[in-house]
Amino acid sequence: MSKRVGVLTGGGDCPGLNAVIRAVTRRSLDRGHEVLGVRSGWRGLVEGIFEPLGPREISGLLPRGGTILGTSRTNPYRVEAGVDRVLANFEAERLDSLVAIGGEDTLGVAAALHREHGFPVVGVPKTIDNDLSATDYTFGFDTAVWICTEAIDRLHTTAESHNRVMVVEVMGRHTGWIAVMSGIAGGADVILIPEQPITVEQACTEIQRRHNRGKDFSIVVVSEGYELTYESGERRQVTQETATDEFGHVRLGGIGHELAREIEERTGFETRVTVLGHVQRGGTPTPRDRVLATRYGLKAAELVIARRFGQMAALNGDAIVDVALDDATSELKTVPREWYDTARAFFG
């Protein structure tokens, strides 16, 4: 019997979302189901904003960044009667199931709705931050790392020409995956991440050590969530705004400038800052992300068809598997010590 499958994208956009939408829609249509796009993440279900997805809508999507469905950080649990409105709009549209494509927040809502209301949802893990448990990688991460690595490569040549220290601030929220991966790939001389915070003094010692060896430029990669940490034990998070969003997150950003000031003052080396910001999330996905997103999308459609709700498509080694949404959202996947040690082997 033909079913109506809903698809939504929530949270920060990332490259590969459209490839998932394409794969979910394609597989569902091929199996005789109808697909309805939900506009702007959970907001679309709270407010009842939908658009049909057919062959024409999913044509040409593979290389396209962003999300054709739009996205938001709306949390139905923080909106007046939000959950009731989600359930009512879902029923009014005669939807049978939902594919929620998102990170910790979007999937956290999906997990809660499933747990509390038996809501028929499956998840697909997206985020450039790669901080979701129960999957080896989220799509979007590879593209972000590629963009940061390219930036580091470019900064190398200008740093070298001017004998400067270049500080590159990258995203990642409270995990340092983007910083560590792009830092290793780009040959950063110091990398600072939230999970294994070296002190400002240690960072300066590494730069000094390098300059004593005859190198007169350095590349420092800092993750936006790194807290300025001093030998004295003082620690300070740098944020753009202290107000939190509907999921309780502060807006991070600005650490690059603070760190650069410290480095310049303490070492005397001229220091410049590059904040990559949303460039890391924009534009076309890498082939790897397109393929991962496609495999996730097909898996999500199959989970829906098999009525295996409360599950999320995940990558385990090279295999696409499914895991419980609850397992994927209960804790953040942080950078393990071994990864940081790999990066650290090239400090200084």
DSSP 267-321: H---EEEEE-GGGGG-SPPPHHHHHHHHHHHHHHHHHHHTT-TTEEEEEETTEEE
Q: Of 120 and 225, which CB lies nearer to ligand F6P in the complex structure?
A: 225
List of residues 6+ apart from 77 with CB closer than 8 A:
83, 109, 112
Q: Of 64 and 173, which CB lies nearer to ligand F6P in the complex structure?
A: 173
List of residues 6+ apart from 120 with CB closer than 8 A:
96, 97, 98, 114, 304, 307, 309
Selected range binding ligand F6P among 57-65, 124-132, 185-193, 254-262, rule: CB under 6 A: 124-132
Q: Which of 89, 127, 229, 329 binds ligand F6P (CB under 6 A)?
A: 127
Instruction: Supply the minimum distance, in Å, between the C-beta of residue 125 and ligand F6P.
Output: 12
Could you give the CA distance from residue 53 to residue 73 in angstroms, rounded to a whole number? 22
Q: Which of 173, 295, 299, 344 binds ligand F6P (CB under 6 A)?
A: 173
Could you give the CA distance from residue 198 to residue 74 in angstroms, rounded to a whole number? 35
What mask of x and - would describe binding to ligand F6P in positions 21 to 60, judged by CB under 6 A? ----------------------------------------
DSSP 126-151: B-TT--BTTSS--BTHHHHHHHHHHH
- The residues in 74-103 that bind ligand F6P, with binding defined as CB under 6 A, are 103
Instruction: Supply the minimum distance, in Å, between the C-beta of residue 240 and ligand F6P.
Output: 8
For the question of residue 129 being annotated catalytic, the response is yes
Instruction: Supply the minimum distance, in Å, between the C-beta of residue 189 and ligand F6P.
Output: 23
What mask of x and - would describe binding to ligand F6P in positions 215 to 234, judged by CB under 6 A? ---------x----------
Reported residue count of the chain is 348
φ/ψ (deg, to 5) at 210: -65, -45
Q: Interface with ligand F6P includes 155 (CB under 6 A)?
A: no
Instruction: Supply the minimum distance, in Å, between the C-beta of residue 9 and ligand F6P.
Output: 13
Instruction: Supply the minimum distance, in Å, between the C-beta of residue 290 and ligand F6P.
Output: 19
Q: How many residues bind ligand F6P (CB under 6 A)?
A: 11
Name the active-site residue from 13, 105, 129, 289.
129
Amino acid code (one letter) for 146: W
Is residue 255 within 8 Å of 170, Cβ to Cβ? no
Locate 1 and state its tokens: 């019997």
Q: Interface with ligand F6P includes 171 (CB under 6 A)?
A: yes
Q: Which of 252, 255, 293, 303 binds ligand F6P (CB under 6 A)?
A: 252
Per DSSP, helices labelled H in the chain are: 17-30, 42-47, 82-92, 104-117, 141-162, 177-186, 200-212, 255-267, 287-305, 325-329, 337-344
Q: Which of 12, 41, 76, 348 binds ligand F6P (CB under 6 A)?
A: 12
List of residues 6+ apart from 241 with CB closer than 8 A:
250, 251
Selected range binding ligand F6P among 38-46, 115-123, 126-134, 194-202, rule: CB under 6 A: 126-134
Selected range binding ligand F6P among 146-154, 158-166, 168-176, 323-331, rule: CB under 6 A: 168-176
User: Between vectors from CA 336 to CA 330 and to CA 341, what angle results, nearest 5°?
Assistant: 170
Q: Interface with ligand F6P includes 129 (CB under 6 A)?
A: yes
Could you give the CA distance from residue 73 to residue 160 in angstroms, rounded to a whole number? 41
Instruction: Supply the minimum distance, in Å, between the C-beta of residue 340 and ligand F6P.
Output: 18
Q: Of 13 and 189, which CB lies nearer to ligand F6P in the complex structure?
A: 13
Q: Interface with ligand F6P includes 281 (CB under 6 A)?
A: yes
Instruction: Supply the minimum distance, in Å, between the C-beta of residue 187 and ligand F6P.
Output: 23
Could you give the CA distance from residue 146 to residue 151 in angstroms, rounded to a whole number? 9
Using CB under 6 A, list all residues that contact ligand F6P: 12, 103, 127-129, 171-173, 224, 252, 281
Active-site positions? Answer: 129
